[in-house]
Amino acid sequence: MKFSEFISDPISQAKHLMLIGHPVSHSVSPIMHNLALREYNLDISYVAVDVEAHELPSLIAHFNSDSFLGANITLPYKQTLFDAVDQHSDLANEMGVINCVQKTSHTLMGHNTDSYGFIKPLQLKGYDHLDSALIFGFGGAAQAVIHGLEQLGCDTIYVVSRNIDKHENDSHINLISYDEWPEYAEEVEIIVNTTPLGMHPNIDASPVQEENSIYLRDSLCYDIVYNPRQTKFLEQAKNAGATCMDGLPMLIYQAARSFELWTGKSFPVQHVEEHLSHVFPAHISSPKEP
């Protein structure tokens, strides 16, 4: 729904939660959250709203409406709306981006639940500590992954980027090129794809060239893409004998954390996972326990 349509629709006057971005038509967040809201018989709607840049002042004004209860924020506004809230969680402050707005009375709190979404599936599979990682991509999603890995104690992180000269290294991040990454693959425990390569509709793309896929063999390979669940990257990893994790659990757990912040209630993870498993069927075996 376009913002101009939303603001004149009766749904904007009733209690609601929002997904804010541009575009948002592809998102499955409304499926997840409306299912969870129905689980508790809450008289609240979750609606995806496509907001253009010139509409942001009107959107921010809408945050003061009594009917607005909170929001998720997706691209391209995770940084843009950082200063639109009154306070920030420590993690959001550290990252400089928000993907969740929690409204308490008339106070807006900005959170980042992407990092939680990334590490929770790892912890559920027994990965409570990781020493080393290699990440493809250095965009906004990579920042959440880096923070998550650091929370798991990871102190050696290689980031594969096409624009090394545009970034500065810090003590935890070692920037390397796509030509170099095979040299470091055997040193790391986990390899993560944070790029959109392999995402629908470009399902034949991967950050790994076919001749280099053998270097995935000894690692846990985690792709944060969830559509399709078996990406080209994970297909390469599986064929090389690696352990694989797809991005659907990350999507679900970042949503779970948002839902808990808004409602104080537990997210029906199993129910949502069962529903989305029909929407995005998996074609790879479940990850092996460490």
Q: Annotated catalytic residue: which of 2, 15, 78, 103?
A: 78
Q: Are the CB atoms for 59 and 101 separated by under 8 Å? A: no
Determine whether 2 is an active site residue. no
* Contacts for 74 with CB less than 8 Å, ≥ 6 apart: 19, 20, 21, 24, 27, 99
Measured CA to CA, the distance from residue 116 to residue 96 in angstroms comes to 16
Please state the separation of Cα 156 from the chain's center in Å: 22
HSE, side-chain direction, 13 A CA sphere, residue 147: 20
SS3 129: coil
Q: Are the CB atoms for 98 and 112 separated by under 8 Å? A: yes
Measured CA to CA, the distance from residue 73 to residue 82 in angstroms comes to 10
Active site residues: 78
